[in-house]
A = this chain, B = another copy of it.
Amino acid sequence: MRILVVEDDEVAAEYVRKGLMEAGHVVDRASDGELGLEMAKVADYDALILDRMLPKRDGLSLLGALREDGDSTPVLILSALGEVDQKVEGLRAGGDDYLAKPYSFTELLARVEAIGRRSDPTAAVTKLKAGDMEMDLLARTVKRGDQKIFLQPREFRLLECLMRHAGRVVTRTMLLEKVWDYHFDPQTNVIDVHVSRLRAKIDKNFETPMLHTVRGAGYRLQA
């Protein structure tokens, strides 16, 4: 697990870092709130350990900014303030757990691993978006604007592939592999036909077309 520890106290930080590393985690450390926020935004951590009182930017403010940003990395808040109301405040601010100092390292480890486990790494994407188009992989439905679009299985796979690479060109070879599982050139125009059919459904009755031909290269779905 990749963990970021935001703690100004040198000794405490080192203590925690060492212990987490021994437990097999990768640990970074930030010494103040501003730096912590930067690092959390840039890198992709599995969990954050956040001291509540920090230089430059306190823990709750950092947490708030992060959540504002749509970041849902699990956060364990550390604090010398053991008051019940403080804990409540911390949890309400979007924290996943709250630990009052002094704490035992064993407990900290257990808690971090508990909150980290939650953010399921196997959690898959179930919805794809591109422009005003939205695809629900589980319901197998597609909408453009608020217009439902009904696709055949092959058309669905074709659009899925295009959406997964929205904005970039998808070559014919790629399509044959991803959508048809062909690992050779079938010497026919299957792709053209299905692209044509897809276009009729997703672009025909709309202002701006999304599916563009990139002559000599393939197709691109505009985001």
Residues on B with C-beta less than 8 A from A106 are 84-85, 88
Encode A73-113 as 1/0 by CB contact (under 8 A) with B: 00000000000110110011001110000011011001101
Kindly identify which residue among B88, B110, B120, B126 contacts A107, using a CB–CB cutoff of 8 Å.
B88
- Chain B residues whose C-beta falls within 8 Å of the C-beta of A87 in the assembled complex: 107, 110
* Nearest CB of B to A28, in Å: 23
In the assembled complex, A114 has its CB within 8 A of some CB on chain B = yes
A138 neighbours in B (Cβ, 8 Å): 124, 126, 137-138
Contact of A96 among B91, B104, B118, B137 (CB under 8 A): B118
* Cβ-neighbour of A123 out of B95, B123, B153 (below 8 A): B123
Partner of A153, one of B84, B91, B110, B153: B153
A/B interface sample: 30 pairs, CB < 8 A: A84-B104, A84-B106, A84-B107, A85-B106, A87-B107, A87-B110, A88-B106, A88-B107, A88-B110, A91-B110, A91-B111, A91-B113, A91-B114, A92-B110, A92-B114, A95-B114, A96-B114, A96-B118, A97-B97, A97-B114, A118-B118, A120-B123, A123-B123, A124-B126, A124-B138, A126-B126, A126-B138, A137-B138, A138-B138, A153-B153
User: How many copies altogether?
Assistant: 2
Docked complex: A157-192 residues within 8 A CB-CB of B: none
Q: How far is the CA of A106 from the CA of B90 in the complex (A)?
A: 13
CB proximity of A105 to chain B, nearest CB, Å: 10
For the complex formed, measure the closest distance between the CB of A100 and the CB atoms of chain B, giving whole angstroms: 12
- In the assembled complex, the Cα of A76 lies from the Cα of B139 at a distance in Å of 32
Q: Which residue of B lies closest to A112 (CB)?
A: B91
In the complex, what residues of B have CB within 8 A of residue A118's CB?
A: 96, 118
Report B-chain residues with C-beta under 8 Å of the C-beta of A124.
126, 138
